[in-house]
């Protein structure tokens, strides 16, 4: 039987159905494999370099200086240690300035991994320890921003430093892909002289520890009870940071799109297997007639299918491997890590997935070959054996559920994907049914039009399937290529031209008046300064707050960290009070005004009593109202605002946001020279960076969705094949009746163009709906009805479907009236 199966496969490999089945398998598996390979490599990279990224085996970080006692304790337990300080600061060179992430290190840095500088030629040079006190190592980006070269002098606070090296690899840079400011590394000894660190400055103090795991564990036990509020002790790099979340979302999104492609491909596999089975009813009857048992016949075709499945899966995995190299290139700047080689896990999983769809989608239709009766050989007009709907539809459904579980692992997400795909399909199918129904009303003029219209309306099941499949592919692509870009654009346009483009933080109280006057004297609007005090929420209505009380990641993070509080006499008009009383701080009562979103997240209600711990002291007050804040305006605002007098002004630093034309840049340089502790953040540059990253991620998902579109077209081909015999017969009759090839071609073109028009229009509508919902619900934007979608969608549908349809039915056009059928 195996020999027979191989023989059949060799002969039939080029038959239409098997070619299609193979193509569908390859596309489906490749779609899945590309993303699994990539995400697997990314995960491996994250894992492998865990200690490196963390900067040690154990890291203590704090926003206040660390007690010397800890260093002594580390010393005693015999582990290596290194301490660092990181903070943001502006560096100045000549007339240029730029924000940088300063890292001040000691001689032991780095404990794990290697720090290398760009050296002679292209060979990176590994260095250890801190740069000499008069020197600084910088990221190339900074040189670019300042327009200087290695060897130039930088001013950092009150000190001047010579750029003596360009950083090539910084081991503990972490996964922070939003590179807000280029890194500079300096010797910790210069910090005092630089006068950069003032009371209230945001500085991260870090003690990295590395050594034998037992010693590390013991030290961890010693240090843990000594931790102060806001101190953190970690053995894992920060994964629940915003970066980590974004990373995870990006991966999930890729997986989702690849899964949609996979499901469509699976449908094509099922359809071609179905047709294959129908075409082999007679062969099965012959085998049975020659004395083969029903089991043998089923075994024969099953073996053949499995062999094909294996072949398709292997080729698909190879293609997927190549595709993930493209993904790697597309996302090079987003995840700035070198990825390790791929492992066998995604390879095996993708192979398994390919075999699973072969079995789940391909085998059930073949099962009818078992039911063929040998007497069929005498009566070829016997109806094909029917299969129960359970047998036909249940295995595919189970296969998909199983695969989603294998991929995503999360039940909820799996259910969501299934629901989403089902909803999309439902939408497309309903739309297609409606439009085809309408098309039935058209009174065709001429034979071409009639042939085209009846082709669509009479084979309406097939037509609906074709529309749904191609429509899904198109919709995903439109969503990524048109809608996402238009959303970004309308976000951009929503930002007023004179919106602040510059944030100034770390301003000391004593500097506020001076800076205001400085700007006013130079014709700038006087910026408003807001006080800022850092505090941690410790109790709501006297109930202690802890991370364990919350399920959502964001809420857990919010209660673990300190965040910024402010105080004011009058709330900004741009953030209206949505519930509670007007802001009357003059009453002397201790009251808070809380942003609505965060109140919801933390379960804070009106009139709750919140207790914050600020510099070790509890501050209590009543929630007087909830505010709505539109963060997109780039105005300074706060989650929680206190009445004046509740917070100690001596602990405050000030923040301001203002708009400065690029021509006024020298003003800023002057300002920073005079006040070295100031930190200015260029919002425009930051936004540009976020936009770039979104575009890159979008492009990579777009790339994966090409598989989805290809799979959609495979379903189209499979559907065309189902109608092929009928089409050939009709075409032959038309030819006998005197129709020319041109006319048949025109009829087919019209039919597929109509189908494409419907698919494209529905896809555009679907993409627009999704875009609208996203804009309205998630981003609070206006998504305009006037969109390129309405042009691109139908056009792509018509062109794609006509080309594919004509290609698939070229035999129908070529048919000669004399051919026997």
Nearer to other proteins, 11 or 551 (CB): 11
Nearer to other proteins, 6 or 411 (CB): 6
CB of 421 to other proteins, least distance (A): 36
CB of 283 to other proteins, least distance (A): 5
Nearer to other proteins, 3 or 551 (CB): 3
Using CB under 8 A as the binding rule, whether residue 282 contacts other proteins is answered as yes
Cis before residue 337, ω within 30 degrees of 0? no
Nearer to other proteins, 216 or 308 (CB): 308
Size of the site for other proteins (CB under 8 A): 28
CB of 14 to other proteins, least distance (A): 10
Nearer to other proteins, 14 or 785 (CB): 14
Total residues found in the chain within this entry: 821
Using CB under 8 A as the binding rule, whether residue 8 contacts other proteins is answered as yes
User: Contacts with other proteins in 9-68 (CB under 8 A)?
Assistant: 11-12, 15
Q: Give 171's contacts (C-beta < 8 A, 6+ positions apart).
A: 49, 52, 53, 55, 110, 112, 113, 114, 115
SS in 3 state form for 743-812? HHHHHHHHHHHHHHHHHHHHHHHHHHHHHHHHHHHHHCCCCCCCCCHHHHHHHHHHHHHHHHHHHHCHHH
Within 13 Å and on the Cβ side, how many CA atoms surround 64?
13
Q: Are the C-beta atoms of residues 635 and 642 closer than 8 Å to each other?
A: no
Nearer to other proteins, 11 or 221 (CB): 11
CB of 369 to other proteins, least distance (A): 13
Distance CA 713, CA 706 (A): 11
CB of 1 to other proteins, least distance (A): 9
CB of 21 to other proteins, least distance (A): 15
- Pick the piece of the chain touching other proteins (CB under 8 A) from 45-53, 178-186, 287-295, 654-662: 287-295
CB of 178 to other proteins, least distance (A): 59
Q: Are the C-beta atoms of residues 537 and 592 closer than 8 Å to each other?
A: no
Nearer to other proteins, 212 or 375 (CB): 375
Question: Which two tokens mark 405?
Answer: 């579980």
- Pick the piece of the chain touching other proteins (CB under 8 A) from 70-78, 280-288, 699-707, 770-778: 280-288
- Pick the piece of the chain touching other proteins (CB under 8 A) from 57-65, 285-293, 351-359, 779-787: 285-293
CB of 303 to other proteins, least distance (A): 14
The residue whose two tokens read 């990221």 is 139
CB of 735 to other proteins, least distance (A): 22
Nearer to other proteins, 11 or 441 (CB): 11
Nearer to other proteins, 290 or 510 (CB): 290
CB of 12 to other proteins, least distance (A): 5
User: Contacts with other proteins in 744-783 (CB under 8 A)?
Assistant: none
CB of 374 to other proteins, least distance (A): 4
- Pick the piece of the chain touching other proteins (CB under 8 A) from 5-13, 45-53, 176-184, 560-568: 5-13
Q: Give 99's contacts (C-beta < 8 A, 6+ positions apart).
A: 88, 89, 90, 180, 181, 679, 680, 681, 682
Q: Are the C-beta atoms of residues 562 and 63 closer than 8 Å to each other?
A: yes
Residues 25, 342, 23: CA angle, nearest 5 degrees:
10
Using CB under 8 A as the binding rule, whether residue 551 contacts other proteins is answered as no
Distance CA 469, CA 463 (A): 10
Question: Which two tokens mark 545?
Answer: 């707050």
- The DSSP letter of residue 332 is T
User: Contacts with other proteins in 411-450 (CB under 8 A)?
Assistant: none
Using CB under 8 A as the binding rule, whether residue 75 contacts other proteins is answered as no
CB of 814 to other proteins, least distance (A): 17
User: Contacts with other proteins in 358-397 (CB under 8 A)?
Assistant: 373-375, 377-380
List the one residue from 152, 162, 286, 684 that touches other proteins (CB under 8 A): 286
612-639: b (≥16 Cβ within 10 Å) or e: bbbeeeebebebbbbbebeeebbbbbbb
Nearer to other proteins, 88 or 376 (CB): 376
Distance CA 38, CA 727 (A): 43
Q: Give 280's contacts (C-beta < 8 A, 6+ positions apart).
A: 301, 369
User: Contacts with other proteins in 481-540 (CB under 8 A)?
Assistant: none
Distance CA 486, CA 489 (A): 5
- Helix axes of 294-330 and 16-48: crossing angle, nearest 10 degrees: 50
Nearer to other proteins, 307 or 806 (CB): 307
SS in 3 state form for 40-88? HHHHHHHHHCHHHHHCCCEEEEECCCCCHHHHHHHHHCCCEEEEEEEEE
User: Contacts with other proteins in 288-327 (CB under 8 A)?
Assistant: 288-296
Q: Are the C-beta atoms of residues 332 and 46 closer than 8 Å to each other?
A: no
Nearer to other proteins, 293 or 338 (CB): 293
Q: Are the C-beta atoms of residues 9 and 308 closer than 8 Å to each other?
A: yes
Nearer to other proteins, 15 or 245 (CB): 15
List the one residue from 150, 204, 283, 664 that touches other proteins (CB under 8 A): 283
Nearer to other proteins, 6 or 217 (CB): 6
CB of 278 to other proteins, least distance (A): 14
Distance CA 678, CA 671 (A): 9
**Residue ranges in contact with other proteins by CB under 8 A:** 3-4, 7-8, 11-12, 15, 282-283, 285-296, 373-375, 377-380
């Amino acid at each position: 039987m195996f020999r027979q199966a191989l023989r059949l496969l060799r002969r039939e490999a080029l038959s239409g159905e098997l070619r299609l089945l193979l193509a569908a398998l390859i596309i489906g598996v490749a779609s899945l494999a590309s993303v699994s390979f990539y995400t697997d490599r990314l995960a491996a990279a994250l894992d492998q370099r865990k200690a490196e990224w963390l900067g040690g085996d154990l890291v203590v970080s704090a926003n206040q200086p660390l007690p010397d006692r800890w260093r002594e304790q580390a010393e005693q337990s015999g582990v290596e240690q290194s301490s660092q300080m990181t903070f943001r600061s502006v560096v100045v060179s000549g007339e240029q300035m730029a924000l940088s992430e300063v890292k001040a290190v000691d001689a032991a840095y780095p404990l794990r991994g290697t720090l290398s500088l760009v050296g002679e030629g292209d060979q990176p040079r590994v260095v250890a320890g801190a740069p000499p006190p008069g020197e600084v190592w910088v990221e190339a980006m900074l040189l670019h921003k300042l327009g200087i070269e290695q060897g130039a002098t930088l001013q950092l606070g009150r000190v001047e430093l010579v750029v003596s090296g360009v950083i090539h690899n910084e081991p503990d840079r972490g996964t922070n892909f939003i590179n807000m400011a280029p890194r500079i590394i300096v010797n910790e000894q210069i910090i005092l002289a630089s006068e950069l660190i003032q009371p209230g400055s945001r500085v991260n103090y870090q003690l990295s520890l590395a050594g034998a795991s037992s010693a590390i564990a013991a030290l961890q036990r010693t240090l843990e009870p000594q931790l102060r509020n806001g101190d953190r002790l970690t053995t894992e790099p920060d994964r629940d940071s915003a970066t980590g979340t974004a990373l995870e979302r990006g991966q999930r999104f890729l997986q989702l799109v690849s899964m949609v492609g996979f499901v469509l491909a699976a449908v094509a596999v099922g359809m071609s297997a179905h047709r294959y089975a129908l075409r082999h009813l007679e062969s099965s009857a012959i085998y049975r007639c020659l004395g083969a048992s029903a089991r043998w016949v089923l075994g024969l075709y099953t073996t053949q299918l499995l062999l094909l499945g294996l072949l398709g899966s292997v080729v698909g995995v190879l293609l997927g491997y190549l595709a993930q190299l493209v993904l790697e290139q597309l996302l090079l700047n987003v995840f700035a890590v070198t990825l390790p080689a791929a492992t066998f896990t995604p390879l095996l999983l993708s192979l398994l997935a390919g075999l699973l769809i072969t079995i789940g989608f391909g085998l059930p239709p073949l099962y009818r070959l078992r039911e063929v009766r040998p007497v069929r050989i005498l009566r070829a007009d016997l109806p094909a054996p029917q299969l129960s709907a359970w047998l036909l539809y249940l295995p595919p459904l189970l296969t998909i559920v199983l695969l989603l579980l294998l991929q995503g692992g999360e039940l909820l997400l799996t259910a969501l994907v299934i629901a989403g795909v089902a909803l999309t399909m439902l939408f497309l199918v309903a739309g297609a049914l409606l439009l085809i129904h309408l098309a039935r009303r058209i009174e065709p003029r001429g034979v071409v039009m009639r042939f085209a219209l009846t082709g669509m309306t009479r084979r309406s099941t097939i037509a609906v399937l074709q529309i749904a499949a191609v429509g899904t592919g198109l919709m995903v692509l439109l969503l990524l290529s048109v809608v996402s870009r238009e959303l970004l654009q309308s976000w951009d346009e929503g930002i007023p031209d004179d919106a602040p483009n510059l944030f100034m933080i770390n301003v000391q109280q004593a500097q506020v008046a001076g800076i205001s006057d400085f700007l006013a004297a130079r014709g700038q609007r006087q910026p408003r300064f807001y006080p800022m005090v850092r505090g941690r929420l410790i109790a709501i209505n006297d109930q202690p707050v802890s991370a364990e009380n919350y399920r959502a990641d964001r809420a857990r993070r919010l209660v673990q960290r300190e965040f910024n509080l402010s105080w004011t006499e009058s709330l900004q008009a741009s953030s209206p009070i949505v519930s509670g009383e007007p802001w009357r701080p003059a009453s002397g009562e201790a009251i808070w005004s809380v942003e609505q979103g965060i109140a919801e997240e933390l379960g804070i209600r009106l009139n709750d009593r919140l207790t914050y711990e600020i510099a070790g002291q509890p501050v209590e007050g009543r929630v007087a109202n909830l505010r709505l804040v539109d963060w997109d305006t780039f105005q300074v605002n706060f989650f929680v605002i206190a009445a004046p007098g509740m917070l100690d002004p001596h602990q405050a630093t000030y923040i301001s946001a203002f708009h400065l034309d690029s021509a006024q840049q020298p003003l800023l340089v002057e300002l920073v020279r005079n006040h070295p502790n100031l930190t200015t953040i260029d919002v425009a540059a930051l936004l540009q960076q976020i936009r770039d990253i979104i575009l890159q991620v979008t492009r990579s998902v777009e790339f994966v969705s090409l598989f989805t579109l290809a799979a959609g077209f495979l379903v189209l081909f499979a559907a065309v094949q189902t109608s092929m015999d009928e089409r050939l017969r009709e075409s032959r009759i038309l030819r006998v009746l005197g129709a020319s090839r041109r006319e048949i071609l025109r009829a087919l073109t019209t039919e597929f163009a109509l189908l494409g028009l419907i698919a494209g229009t529905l896809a555009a509508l679907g993409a627009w709906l999704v875009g609208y919902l996203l804009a309205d619900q998630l981003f609070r934007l206006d998504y305009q009805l006037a969109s390129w979608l309405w042009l691109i969608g139908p056009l792509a549908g018509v062109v794609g479907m006509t080309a594919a349809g004509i290609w698939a039915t070229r035999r129908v056009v070529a048919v000669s009236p004399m051919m026997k059928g």
